[in-house]
Chain A
Amino acid sequence: NAGVMQNPRHLVRRRGQEARLRCSPMKGHSHVYWYRQLPEEGLKFMVYLQKENIIDESGMPKERFSAEFPKEGPSILRIQQVVRGDSAAYFCASSPTEGSEAFFGQGTRLTVV
């Protein structure tokens, strides 16, 4: 059973471009969580999704950020018109049920130049 797969591992975008980060949860996992880790800081919760539903997006910036988890395919975190402050590591975690242990992917390191 493959772990949580995130791609790309590294992403470089110029200011103003769009960034798309993908997360394929572990097989059988229908709950996905996105976290952001700014340099030298801990992880901050962004959004919690189940298939086709956003359950909690209280940690998402109000503008430019969106997330989806379609019925088929990976979860996508989309950042429009990126700015330098978006440079961070973005981690995805998945779990089979709401209260069970979450497993983390290796992260996508976004650099905005």
Chain B
Amino acid sequence: GDSVTQMEGPVTLSEEAFLTINCTYTATGYPSLFWYVQYPGEGLQLLLKATKADDKGSNKGFEATYRKETTSFHLEKGSVQVSDSAVYFCALSSNNAGNMLTFGGGTRLMVKP
């Protein structure tokens, strides 16, 4: 079945540091890939997505590239802010699974001033 593996946290960075959160997946067919962010006490918000190989999703300074050859969708940001502190979830949706999402375990990011 489908699965998503992402690096365990917490990840602690200083403000303006470079961020990478690794995500790899296993899926049949050609899934769509997503990054969601969850701020404390809140629901999930879609951060960015990519629907086919080599697509790059980007939003709010974050970006991730759909790499079919390495089955990866790593999240990056060049300069993090304290307000980026949250839990980040990588997820996929298979073409034959309606809109159901398979999530990774989440990575908590803590950014210190």
Contact = CB atoms under 8 A, between A and B. Distances in A.
Given A105-B43, A106-B43, A43 B103 contact: yes
Interface residues of A, number: 26
A101 interface: yes
Nearest to B108: A40
Given A41-B105, A42-B104, A107 B99 contact: no
Given A41-B105, A42-B103, A42-B104, A48 B98 contact: yes
Contacts, number: 55
A45 B43 contact: no
Contacts of A103: 46
Contact of B98 (A56, A91, A106): A56
11 contacts: A33-B99, A41-B105, A42-B105, A43-B101, A91-B43, A91-B44, A99-B99, A100-B99, A103-B46, A104-B45, A106-B42
Interface of B: 4, 36, 41-46, 49, 89, 98-106
Interface of A: 4, 6, 31, 33, 35, 41-45, 48, 55-56, 91, 93, 95, 98-107
Given A42-B89, A42-B106, A104-B44, 14 more contacts: A4-B43, A31-B98, A41-B105, A42-B104, A42-B105, A45-B102, A48-B98, A56-B100, A91-B43, A101-B99, A102-B101, A104-B43, A106-B41, A106-B43
